[in-house]
Amino acid sequence: MAEQYDYLIVGAGFAGSVLAERLAEDSGKKCLVVDRRGHIAGNAYDEVDQAGILIHKYGPHYFRTNSNKVVDYLSRFTEWHQVSYQVLVWTDGKYWQFPINLNTFEQYLGRPSTTEEMEATLAKWREPISNPKNSEEMVLSQVGRKFYEMFFKNYTRKQWKRDPSQLDASVCGRIPVRTNRDNRFVTDTFQALPQGGYTAMFKKILNHPKITVKLNHDYRQLGQDVTYGHMIYTGMIDEYFNFSEGRLPYRSMRFEPETLPVEYFQPAMQVNYPNDHEYTRVVEIKHATGQKAPVTTIVREYPEDFGPGKEAYYPVPAPDSKALYDKYATKAQGEKGVTFVGRLATYRYYNMDQVVAMALTEYEKLKAR
């Protein structure tokens, strides 16, 4: 006989897991969570490698948020390890402070400076673009061409295989420019990693008598074995519709870990390489997790085209992909038995906290039905 559930939830990442927990705990619904990967936690998955170092398998996941609601919710499942995320850029043979701030400006000048001098210089360097329409215009309007070429242009081209002029202003606009000495990567009020790691947190989120988790299962393989009242879908929206409107563009990535017999390899958690090497960045997550060990593991990230056998890591924020996504969004509205939630299902370049907030909001809508 078929197994019966109230909800079939496709994907055990933040979107699927938070919705499963809310539906099970708050509404007493019986949920089946399926993921085609062999683990829970989606892209936030972390694991201890052979050298005993906790690594983020799908690229570094720096949790940060300004939402008390999101922090309060996740704090039911984890303690936190406070972090101030630090990023450097390697170019012209040395490390530079990043995001750009007064320290970066002083490095550039090769002498001490002031906020006033930096502001006056940027005012001269900035290109007069009042309403930036793409990422190139965004950066040129903030810092001018010199810093655009040093820090943004080639990094963005490597990462997205598109010129910044072909990407939404929000892609480079996410990165702040400061004229003070604030070296933090982001300024959100809450910046921390789950104390025991993401996977441990997800185990607690999904640990509920009304939640069943099936790994290594594509939901399309379930067939007649399972019946359910409603589906929550957190995978790629174009795949759900069998690419009927055409394929949405995504960027993929190859992560190459290397363990080294030193306590630390580099001076910060993340070093970006805009102008050297094929990889975009080297991440040494130990700086952020605070793990103490005599060896270290670094991960080099090589952006790749998305295709067969590759994971779709990034929706591409650009006008052409948005137009194609809108066609799928219209189709999704007609799927009455399905709720589309999360980064791939809504084709948005969302951070983890935004996905948690989105899942909590979707839960309230489902509850009200």
Ligand X SMILES: Cc1cc2nc3c(=O)[nH]c(=O)nc-3n(C[C@H](O)[C@H](O)[C@H](O)COP(=O)(O)OP(=O)(O)OC[C@H]3O[C@@H](n4cnc5c(N)ncnc54)[C@H](O)[C@@H]3O)c2cc1C
Closest CA to 166 of 325, 318, 348: 318
Secondary structure E strands in 245-359 = 250-260, 270-272, 281-283, 296-305, 314-315, 338-340
3-state secondary structure of 264: coil
Compute the least distance from the CB of residue 12 to ligand X, in Å: 6
- How many chain residues bind ligand X (CB under 6 A)? 35
Residues in region 247-286 near ligand X by CB under 6 A: 253
Residue span binding ligand X (CB under 6 A) among the ranges 32-40, 76-84, 332-340, 361-369: 32-40
Under rule CB under 6 A, residue 11 binds ligand X: yes
Rule CB under 6 A: choose which of 97, 141, 166, 234 binds ligand X: 234
Nearer Cβ to ligand X, position 57 or 137? 57
Under rule CB under 6 A, residue 35 binds ligand X: yes
349: left (phi over 0), alpha (psi -120 to 50) or beta: beta
CB 179 within 8 A of CB 115: yes
Residue type at position 150: M
Rule CB under 6 A: choose which of 198, 228, 328, 350 binds ligand X: 350
Under rule CB under 6 A, residue 59 binds ligand X: yes
Residue type at position 178: R
Q: Report the b/e string of 22-45 with b at 16+ CB within 10 A.
A: bbbeeeebbbbbbbbbeebbbbbb
Residue span binding ligand X (CB under 6 A) among the ranges 53-61, 110-118, 159-167, 197-205: 53-61
Rule CB under 6 A: choose which of 36, 184, 208, 327 binds ligand X: 36
Residue span binding ligand X (CB under 6 A) among the ranges 52-60, 153-161, 282-290, 320-328: 52-60
Residue span binding ligand X (CB under 6 A) among the ranges 34-42, 109-117, 195-203, 278-286: 34-42
Rule CB under 6 A: choose which of 342, 347, 362, 363 binds ligand X: 342
Under rule CB under 6 A, residue 42 binds ligand X: yes
Under rule CB under 6 A, residue 164 binds ligand X: no
CB atoms within 10 A of CB 227: 13
Q: Report the b/e string of 182-196 with b at 16+ CB within 10 A.
A: ebbbbebebbbbbeb
Under rule CB under 6 A, residue 218 binds ligand X: yes
Give the residue at shortest CB distance from ligand X: 42
Rule CB under 6 A: choose which of 8, 53, 54, 60 binds ligand X: 60
> Would you tell me which residues interact with ligand X (CB under 6 A)?
10-16, 34-37, 42-44, 58-63, 218-219, 234-235, 253, 313-314, 342-344, 350-353, 355
